Amino acid sequence: MMNRALGFILLLTMTTSGYGYDRITGEKFASRSEVIGENGMVATSHPLATQIGLDILKQGGTAVDAAIAANIALGLMEPTGNGIGGDLFAIIWDAKTKKLHGLNASGPAPKNLSIEYFQRQGLKKIPSYGPLPVTVPGAVDGWVKLHEKFGKLEFASLFEPTIKYAEKGFPVTETIAYYLDRSQKRFENYPNFNEVWVKNGKMPQKGEIFKNPQLASTLRTIAGKGRAGFYEGKIAKTMADFVQSQGGFLTYDDLAGFHSEWTPPVSSNYRGYDVWELPPNGQGIAALQILNILENYDLKKMGLYSSEYIHLFTETKKIVFADRAKYYADPNFTDIPVNELISKSYAKERAKLINLDKASKTDDAGILKSGDTIYLTVADKFGNMVSLIQSNYRGMGSGMMPTGLGFMLQDRGELFSLDKNHKNALEGGKRPFHTIIPAFVTKDGEPFMSFGVMGGATQPQAHAQIIINMIDFGLNLQEAGDAPRIVHSGSSQPTDEVMLDGGTLSIESGFGKAIEDELAAIGHAIKYERGIFGGYQAIMLKNGVYYGASETRKDGQAAGY
């Protein structure tokens, strides 16, 4: 009886406290302590991918070697967010030269595709799925470019761990099983999908051993032939022929002629820290614009758990995303005033638009939806660090699975505008506006932090929140990601008939009902939407030691040695 009574008291304590335990250090909401290692660190959204990256580091590989190997694995193990049918962006800290390098490995629209085609078909927007939103997949060329410049191990060796897992199988994790299950109805009627993914009428379940021998064969070809194994020859012909058979425009020449670009990152200083993002066609500078505006306010005094801070952040986001809608596009096709957009003077002018007492109605891009993505970061014993993000856009992608190759092509082309006067207007050979963004932070010219937060239009908002959580609110690397997040979706936009109502504000449950009520009272439409708060990984360098953190909302892992 005594044991039962003690058990009941323990259960009651755990239930009423709101937590299953009380941490003896740090914030209660933290899922765990930071991971700390001296010789290297890997943080990815899948534990097996993290271990592959660690193995590469222990073999003497660079951070880039490990990042490529981990990304290859994620294409197999987390196909709901990325794969060789998608695009890639990366920021690399090179310890030898003490410089940052940026890589834009996003592919363009097929050269033969035009706005006139959609007009003839009576389409007012580019479809979300099928052959029409397919753009050239850039990730494989990105791996090649990264390895040529910063790799040390043999390129082919980086594929071997994933090829073995694809052939022999691996257990499906909980979050990925959830997203795979949701994908079945969307894609089950597309050619070749069921052959790869569906067994006995079901998608792979949590804990089930899944194999993808088709993908293993494709990876072997790329490992042996490099870039030519994917963008030329049999695989390229298979991709082009399949997309055209489905009514699309991707050609062999589109694939063979693609090359990713080295793109210098741009930065803005936030309270003594230089935050680095890649310039458009991605949305990274939106995070810099948000931070520039918020630097004019005393966020520390407001506090994380205040409606005052959440309101200010949301209003700032609306203003910045109006700029994003107007200016962000492929710089090879249009002039973008990047320096002006991320200037402190411009931020002060834009801050004047904010009403601290009332929610506004502001123009927004309007076309962006949540997209599933993966983010990973790696640091090595040589001092190199990599911030890498990769995606197929809408979950698994377009539904287009070239016969016998074991992967799906991205649907990133959906993000083009069909308005000829828009900077992001569709043109053949042009890269679409992109949501995925890696980030990096330096202090006094030295590396401080490599991080990213996957999740479509959530990403600039989450990037800014991570920085604010650490610098203004004093949270550590893990706590900064575990802290409850806010995400604003949509807002007013000009249409032919009406102005919309300023969008919706989703805030995680950790903020509490009282804050929700305060925000609603000043005009915010409050909504809780599962799965939109993103997925965070980060590595920090402090006093010669690496600190790692991984998202509590996903299946990921940070590990060092």
For residue 494, the SS3 value is: coil
The Cα 232–Cα 253 span in angstroms is 9
Cα-based distances in Å from 308 to 27, 172, 288, 292, 351: 21, 42, 21, 18, 15
Looking at 50, 135, 362, 373, which residue is catalytic?
Answer: 373
The Cα 2–Cα 546 span in angstroms is 47
DSSP 226: T
The Cα 31–Cα 478 span in angstroms is 8
For residue 89, the SS3 value is: strand
The Cα 124–Cα 119 span in angstroms is 7
The Cα 350–Cα 96 span in angstroms is 39
Place of tokens 């890649």: 278
- Radius of gyration from C-alpha coordinates of the chain: 23
Question: Torsion angle of alpha carbons 211, 155, 384, 550, nearest 10°?
Answer: 0
Question: Torsion angle of alpha carbons 139, 140, 142, 146, nearest 10°?
Answer: 140
Q: Which residues contact 362 (CB under 8 A, 6 or more apart)?
A: 318, 319, 321, 322, 491, 492, 502
Question: Torsion angle of alpha carbons 461, 466, 467, 470, nearest 10°?
Answer: 150
Residue 373 falls in the annotated catalytic set: yes
Contact by Cβ (8 Å): 324, 286: yes
Cα-based distances in Å from 367 to 417, 422, 456: 9, 13, 11
Closest CA to 286 of 210, 208, 368: 368
Helix axes 307-327, 458-471, angle to 10 degrees: 140
Task: List the catalytic residues.
Answer: 373
